Chains A and B, each alone.
Chain A
Amino acid sequence: MAPELQLTLLKEALEDPDAGTDCHGFPRKLWNALGGVVFVGVSANCNPPEYNCYPEVPLTALRSVLLERAERSVDTFTPAKAD
């Protein structure tokens, strides 16, 4: 995945409401989805924060919104607007 796209996906990622924070107080887990793939970003416990991102089965309260986001195509991707 292109680094710019990865960064954009991280920016609009959703915090896992059940995962809490890492040892520096940053969100411990982020989720996003695109092109049929759901990704999780797991905090590497760094300051400033860094996330290890990889495809994962979305077993989280965010499941339905992630499955909706996964329907977005990579070619026509525009980030979701913040609420």
Chain B
Amino acid sequence: MEQFRIRIEWTEPDPDWDGLDAATWGRVGFFVGDDCITSNHPADSRVPGDSEFLEGPISGLAEWVADNFVHVLWAIRTPFPIEEIGVNAPPIPGLRQASSGWSEYPIDCDMNQMGVWQHRHTFGHADSPLALPSIVFLPEPRYVALAVDYPNTALDPTVRFTAPSSRPWPHLYVVRKEQLEEELGTFIERVINQASSTEEAKKWAAWLSNRWERSRSEAADPETRIRVALGDELSSIVRDARSTHPRIADTLADFLLDCSSSVREISSFLTEQLSSHLEPGGPDGAAWRRIANSGMDLSAPLFEQGYQLARRVRSFLREEVAPLPTITALLARVDVERDEPVHTTAFRAAAFGGRRFARIVPSADDERMRSVPSYRFAVSAALGRLLAAACIDPSKPIATAHGRYARLLETRRANAFAVELLLPRRVLEVRASVIREEGRVPQALCEDYGISQSAANWHAYNAGVLSLRA
């Protein structure tokens, strides 16, 4: 897991600037792992000066952090469907997408909500005259994804940014939330200390210090976290559950993070599902639990974790490369029940797991569930979510969902699990010459393995079998 770092060097201010701006004048550089994400050169190509730092007043960046700290860490649900991200789909919205009014996003996205979300998640937006690349934070419960991209050059910034050579932009980094929290805290406290050392900026330092204390308290408060993570409407479902079904409230909150807001229509169904799964029952040592107990390398990249889990399932089934039978038969072999589909568009397939038994619930209303390959993929991905959750914390009840609004990082692992489970990489490697010749995974092979061609091609690309995305 990479680390996010902000480096500051205090310098003599430009003589045209005074007051607070001069008091917090410095050079600031942002780094993720070994990558500098603020490498820049002057927009005027006649002026020399490649640098990893930006120079100017830093106070505005500190104000942005203080104001948006709780959102950067805890505003997990997004006003746009996460699923649209990826190959042949819009990227995570950054400043360039915002400039064009998010025209690549579905028309059912609320543009006002998009604006509020974008401001709160884009580092330094509208708070500092320092030009920055587009750095967008997407928090999840334990990790935060950072989507880094070029800014909108129509705004005429005085510098031009250069992406790290090995990681062209847009690029998604993943950092541990605790590390990000600590780094942002260190950053803001350094700026406050610097301002406190000059008479003319002391008042501002005290003012920001109060705001910062308030933000930190908010970010540490469990109820605030849930409200910010889910939004007012869905967090009220959790609040109600705390009084009527207190044992399931935390699990319910976790589940809602993966759903669209239409999930409120099935809140009583969810309460019933979760209540029943917290009761002990079913066979001890169910197959899915045994598979999960064999572990997963949590330090590996998410897609690799998904592949590992899929190979464990296949190994358990003693089906290393053969096409899998029907999904219902697969689930039965790993002791997971398949429930009747439920009428909802909140998710595509949900997975619930107690100490001893588990169940997958498909959606009856999601359009993609009408296609057999999409259905197989969604249910497989939900199984991947179930197994990953059981690996990460075997003691917790599990309630997760796969669908348009499911969490980005969990979805990445679940998608990798599903694609490797349905069509093992070894099959692609054996058929590599045919795949390369056709420039895509042959349709007949996709049909044999019950997988869509787009998913198979994506897998072949990631496996290095296809050099260009088909």
> Which residue of chain B has the shortest Cβ distance to A36 in the bound complex?
B154
A55 & B155 in contact (Cβ 8 Å cutoff): yes
User: Could you give, for residues 197-226 of chain B, a 1 whenever the CB lies within 8 Å of some chain A CB and a 0 otherwise?
Assistant: 000010110111000000000000000000
A52 to chain B, nearest CB (A): 5
- Measured between beta carbons, the chain B residues less than 8 angstroms from A23 are 203-204, 206-208
Chain A 42-82 per-residue mask, 1 if CB under 8 angstroms from chain B, else 0? 10111000101011111111010000000000000000000
| Given A55-B155, A59-B98, A59-B116: 14 more A-B contacts, CB < 8 Å | A23-B203, A29-B127, A42-B129, A45-B59, A46-B19, A56-B126, A57-B99, A57-B125, A57-B126, A58-B115, A59-B122, A59-B126, A60-B126, A61-B112
In the complex, are the beta carbons of A56 and B155 less than 8 A apart?
Answer: yes
- Asked if A13 is at the interface (CB within 8 A of a chain B CB), the reply is no
| Residue A40 is within 8 A (CB to CB) of chain B in the complex | yes
Min CB distance, B112 to chain A, in Å? 7
Assuming the A-B contacts A59-B118, A61-B112, are A42 and B20 also in contact, with contact meaning beta carbons closer than 8 angstroms in the complex?
no
Contact of B155 (CB < 8 Å), options: A16, A18, A29, A57? A57
Please give, as numbers and ranges, the residues of chain B lying within 8 Å of A57 by CB-CB distance.
95, 98-99, 118, 125-126, 152, 155
State the A residues within 8 Å of B (CB).
Answer: 16, 18, 22-24, 29, 40, 42, 44-46, 50, 52, 54-61, 63
B196 at the interface (CB under 8 A from A): no
Q: Which residue of B lies closest to A28 (CB)?
A: B63
The answer for the CA separation of A22 and B59 in the assembled complex, in Å, is 12
Give Cα A16 to B203, complex, Å. Answer: 22
Could you write out 7 A-B pairs with CB less than 8 Å apart?
A44-B19, A44-B21, A45-B19, A45-B20, A57-B152, A59-B122, A60-B126
CB-based contact B115/A60 at 8 Å = yes
- Number of B residues near A (Cβ < 8 Å) is 31
Residues in A neighbouring B21, C-beta threshold 8 A: 44, 52
A69 → chain B closest CB, angstroms: 16
Residue of A23, A40, A55, A63 most packed against chain B (CB within 10 A): A23
Given the known inter-chain contacts A23-B203, A45-B20, A55-B156, please indicate yes or no for A29 contacting B115, CB distance below 8 A: no
B434 to chain A, nearest CB (A): 47
From A42, A44, A50, A59, residue with most partner B Cβ within 10 Å: A59
B residues bordering A, Cβ < 8 Å? 19-21, 57, 59-60, 95, 98-99, 111-112, 115-116, 118-119, 122, 125-129, 152, 154-156, 201, 203-204, 206-208
Q: Are B155 and A63 in contact (CB under 8 A)?
A: no
* Known contacts A23-B203, A23-B204, A42-B60: A52-B19 contact under CB 8 Å: no
Residue of B nearest to A56 (CB): B126
B126 surroundings in chain A (CB, below 8 A): 16, 29, 40, 42, 56-57, 59-60
B118 (CB) vs chain A CBs: closest residue: A59
Give A77 Cβ to nearest chain B Cβ, in Å: 19
A59 touches B115 (CB 8 A): yes
**How far, in whole Å, are A56 and B95 apart by their CA atoms in the complex?**
9
- Contact partners of B152 in chain A: CB under 8 A: 57
Central interface residue in B20, B21, B125, B126, by most chain A CB within 10 Å:
B126
